[in-house]
C-alpha cells in the first residue's frame, strides 16, 4: 500500500529525530512548518523544556508580513528565534528539520538564524 504524504513526513521525522538530541549545553532548534505558518523552538531535551520560541503568528511579525507561509516569513522567524536565543545566552544549537526537507522555508529559517548568530 502506498504511503500518504503525512505518513512519509512522520517517517522522516522519526528517522531524523533518532540522530538529533538536544542538551543544556547544545539545545535543539526544532522547526514545524504548516501551510499557513512556520514555528521554531529551542528545546532542552534532557529537561524536556522549551527555552525559546518564535512563530509567524507573533504580533510583531504579523503586522510586517502579508502571510506567514512564505520564505519571507521564515526568514523573519529565523532572525527572531536567534535574537531571543542569544538574549538567553544560547549560541550553539542542533538543527532539527523535523520531517521536512532542508529546502525552501526550512532552509530560509536556518540561514537567517545562522546569519543572526546561532551556530549549527
Convert the pLDDT of each residue in 55-114 to its tens digit.
Answer: 999 999 999 999 999 999 999 999 999 999 999 999 999 999 999 999 999 999 999 999
The whole-number pLDDT of residue 41 equals 98
Q: What is the mean pLDDT of residues 11-34?
A: 91
Kindly report, residue by residue over 35-56, the tens digit of the pLDDT: 999 999 999 999 999 999 999 9
Q: If residue 111 lies in a helix (H) or strand (E), which one and from where to where? A: helix 105-115
**Structural domains in the chain, sorted by start:** 5-115 (3.30.420.100)
Q: If residue 19 lies in a helix (H) or strand (E), which one and from where to where? A: helix 5-19
Q: Tell whether the model's pLDDT for residue 22 goes beyond 90.
A: no
pTM: 0.89
The CA distance from 43 to 22, in Å, is: 7
Amino acid at each position: 500500500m502506498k504511503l500518504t504524504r503525512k505518513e512519509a513526513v512522520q517517517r522522516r521525522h522519526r528517522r531524523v529525530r533518532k540522530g538529533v538530541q538536544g542538551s543544556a549545553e547544545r539545545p535543539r532548534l526544532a522547526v514545524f512548518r504548516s501551510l499557513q505558518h512556520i514555528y521554531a523552538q529551542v528545546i532542552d531535551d534532557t529537561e524536556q523544556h522549551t527555552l525559546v520560541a518564535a512563530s509567524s503568528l507573533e504580533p510583531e511579525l504579523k503586522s510586517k508580513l502579508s502571510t506567514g507561509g512564505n520564505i519571507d516569513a521564515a526568514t523573519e522567524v529565523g532572525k527572531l528565534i536567534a535574537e531571543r536565543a542569544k538574549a538567553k545566552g544560547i549560541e550553539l544549537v542542533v538543527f532539527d528539520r523535523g520531517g521536512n526537507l532542508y529546502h525552501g522555508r526550512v532552509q530560509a529559517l536556518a540561514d537567517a538564524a545562522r546569519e543572526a548568530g546561532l551556530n549549527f
